[in-house]
Amino acid sequence: MELLQLRPEGIYCPLGDFYIDPWQPVPYALITHAHADHARPGHRLYVAHKKTAPILRLRLGENILVQEVEYGERLLHNGVEVSFHPAGHVIGSAQIRVAYRGQVWVVSGDFKIEHDGISSPFEPLRCHTFVTESTFGLPVFGWKPQHEIFQAINRWWHQNRVEGLISVLFGYSLGKAQRILCGVDSSIGQIYVHGAVANINQVLEGIGFSLPSWKHVQTNMKRKDLEGSLVLAPLSAVNTPWLNRFQPCSIAMASGWMQLRGNKRRQALDCGFVLSDHADWKGLLSAVSATGAERVLVTHGYAYAFSRYLQEKGIEAQAIETHFEGESPTSE
């Protein structure tokens, strides 16, 4: 029997009787991280890293049942050993390792290789079968070092400030927003955040995270209150009245999708910064090779193209159908 298999509810371990990031309600769910496509409502028990747990409660309700685990801690389910290991994707994100009688599987969840300074750095794990994401699994996706991207963001913000414009930067409220907050030069001006980002920031500060100074955009604020400042907002605020009251402003997005020029135009952005919390093409390949896996199962993103490439390299690879969504250019 396979250690993990695909069920209508999600990725399932029949021996241990648990699911990993299931998309339908189940009794026992191991959760890689708190993004909505991985952490869905309705499970009886959530098992997650201790930094993910408070974000799950924020997003899914205070009354959910969460068992908190530390990286590397071993849990036993009917003799199946389970442990969580850093995925470097967002704060608290984990790869989940499942082992039984010498057989090891690793489910990557979402991951990135470059250390972002706020998430625990990605930990390469050896395994027999690796279930990997492939959000950016095409050779066209190659990231520059993040300090170059932050220099470009600083230049954009500074120039807007000189011109009396508000700089509005869109990115995921969990992960991307905090990475930008910590990465930009906060001496340029004040940083404001949308309510969705403020909620996450507060939860993280509540568990001891220290973030550079930020302020919440209040509903009664006028354009002139924000002039020259940087505003961090979730993708859901694109083209909303919330945004339009700040016009004229300079609008930008931080996402791996900004590598494709058409996306910037389609979203009517003034600027696009290629900054992703997912591995790029080379990162995916290096992660696969570091596992030493005999078999690779490829999920969300360019699963068919990426698995075909691995097959050509002599690795047994296969695309599998999941309900994970990767990094969407428009929704969170």
| Residues forming the site for Zn ion (CB under 5 A) | 35, 110, 324
Q: What span, in angstroms and rounded, lies between the C-alpha atoms of 96 and 45? A: 16
Give one DSSP letter per residue of 47-89, joined into a string: EEETTTHHHHHHHH-TTS-EEEE-TT--EEETTEEEEEEE-SS
Residue 32 or 167 having the CB closest to Zn ion: 32
Least distance CB 281 / Zn ion (angstroms): 17
Least distance CB 110 / Zn ion (angstroms): 4
Least distance CB 11 / Zn ion (angstroms): 13
Residue 59 has phi, psi (to 5 degrees) of -85, -30
Question: Among 274, 277, 281, 278, which residue's Cα sits nearest to residue 306?
Answer: 281
Residue 80 or 197 having the CB closest to Zn ion: 197
Q: What span, in angstroms and rounded, lies between the C-alpha atoms of 94 and 100? A: 19
Least distance CB 60 / Zn ion (angstroms): 15
Residue 135 or 291 having the CB closest to Zn ion: 135
Q: Which residues pair with 6 in a beta bridge?
A: 11
DSSP conformational letter for 288: H
Residue 263 or 328 having the CB closest to Zn ion: 328
Least distance CB 252 / Zn ion (angstroms): 21
Peptide bond just before 248 cis, omega within 30 deg: yes
Q: What span, in angstroms and rounded, lies between the C-alpha atoms of 163 and 168? A: 14
Least distance CB 304 / Zn ion (angstroms): 17
Residue 52 or 229 having the CB closest to Zn ion: 52
Least distance CB 309 / Zn ion (angstroms): 20
CA atoms within 13 A on the CB side of 39: 30
Residue 88 or 183 having the CB closest to Zn ion: 88
CA triple 93-137-232, angle to 5 deg: 50
Residue 110 or 116 having the CB closest to Zn ion: 110
